[in-house]
Amino acid sequence: MEYAKSDLMEAKRQIDSTLHKLRETVKTLRAKENPERYKSQITLAQRRIRAFELANSLVERELGGM
């Protein structure tokens, strides 16, 4: 499937923004008084970070091939 460069660039911008927010969420949850209480939320955020990093890598690869 073909994507316009502008669409890929906007997708990358959105992914970068979401990654930033997720990383801040993990920092905030780890800094709480009892971070063990938030273990499942931290794990979920970390898994989402990995997924978005993968998506970002694929978008960058697609942009590089244009």
**For each of the chain's 66 residues, which pLDDT tens digit applies?**
889 999 999 999 999 999 999 999 999 999 999 999 999 999 999 999 999 999 999 999 999 988
Domain count, the chain: 1
Instruction: Please report whether residue 62 resides in a domain.
Output: yes
d(CA 8, CA 60): 8
What residue numbers bound the domain in which 44 lies?
Answer: 35-66
Instruction: Please report whether residue 40 resides in a domain.
Output: yes
- pTM (2 d.p.): 0.90
Length of the chain measured in residues: 66
Are 63 and 12 in contact by the 8 Å Cβ rule? The answer is yes
| Exposure string for 17-50, b = 16+ CB within 10 A, e = fewer | eebeebeebbeeeeeeeeeeebeeebeebeebbe
